[in-house]
Amino acid sequence: MALRDCFSRYAFSSTFKNEKEINTMKRQRIFSIILALVMVFSLTSMAIGEGAGPIKIGILKWVTHGALDGAEKGFVDALAANGFVDGENIAIDYQNANDDMSIAATISDRFVNNGVDLILAIATPAVQSVQSKTNEIPILGTAVTDFVGAGLVDSNEVPGGNITGSSDLPSIAEQFDFMLKVLPDIKIVGIMYNSSEDNSRIQAETAKEAADALGLTIVEKTFSAVVDIPQTVESLAKEVEAIWLPSDNSISSAMDILSIAAVDMKIPLVCSEESQVASGGTFAIGIDYYNLGFQTGEMAVRILNEGANPAEMPVEHLKDMAVAINMEVAEAIGLVFPQDVLAQATDVSAR
């Protein structure tokens, strides 16, 4: 083979090899540019809040009744008042355990698996359910009587974990003082509650202390299922002059049943919160659960806006209690309220 031919073949081979390398380098460079652009776009989207999605909040309500519904509404309204609007920059997953711990556990797992950013649990069993599923997601409890007694926090002042919130423990001594203002001649007071509710047992013990301090005799009866309420209230009404009711979830969800029996027997139902009165109780000086929920929503805002740590956020209480009366029920049992009570009360019978 001639030397010139050999040189030509070598030159052609080298040229072809160089072109392949150049094309490969071009493709690599183009890929690198595209990758860099994708990364820049992703970072930009994250910076302006696009692509990350809204803040996810899970709400677990133990059961449906006026008090817990009010707390839920107050919480959501407080978020909206501070710029956190469901369907815009937050997504709220509303769930109801329907008074069933197994349902509550399933819902709690759902929240954890979906990676919610914050959980509101309404009523003690609901908070206990989510407590067992996560020690990382911030949890706010409301409509909880005793956070410490329920094992939810180390102390009310320094909760110490991922749970804090607002307590619905009213001043039971003030409730009994108010009861005597409305019913000055009574001597025997009944107490009834669900024996399986820790909060109710705590309130009942405090109520017995308040009654003892006022020289009142207490007759206590408990039930373990809602179907037992009619028999319990009828039995209790035969022995007492008025019945005091704690903020018990079973009682609050069955006030219509209680009211029918109490009206038939002309016995006043002295309630612990407004929604019980609106559902057929006689009167109350107690917690406004909407305001309690609103206060809890403001706690959520501090967590979301300021990065507040639940471990360092004291459990909060409402300072003021509201007076509510049900004039329809009062008239049906022949009760006349003193004028000074009427002046400070809200008639909730028309709601």
Separation of alpha carbons 169 and 187, rounded Å = 25
User: Cβ(64)–Cβ(255) under 8 Å?
Assistant: no
Structure tokens at 126: 């609901």
On whether the pTM is more than 0.85, the answer is no
Angle in degrees, CA 87, 89, 90, rounded to 5: 65
Separation of alpha carbons 343 and 346, rounded Å = 9
Q: Does the CA dihedral 325-291-176-199 come out positive or negative?
A: positive
Virtual CA dihedral for 180, 166, 275, 234, nearest 10 degrees?
-60
β partners of residue 60: 95, 121
Beta strands in 20-178 (DSSP E): 55-61, 90-96, 118-122, 139-144, 163-167
Per-residue pLDDT of the chain (351 residues; tens, 9 = 90+): 443 444 344 444 444 445 545 454 555 554 444 444 433 333 333 332 344 689 999 999 999 998 899 999 999 999 999 999 999 999 999 999 999 999 999 999 999 999 999 999 999 999 999 999 999 999 999 999 899 999 999 999 999 999 999 999 878 999 999 999 999 999 999 999 999 888 899 899 999 999 999 999 999 999 998 889 989 999 999 999 999 999 888 999 999 999 999 999 999 999 998 889 999 999 999 888 999 999 999 999 999 999 999 999 999 998 778 899 999 999 999 999 999 999 999 999 865
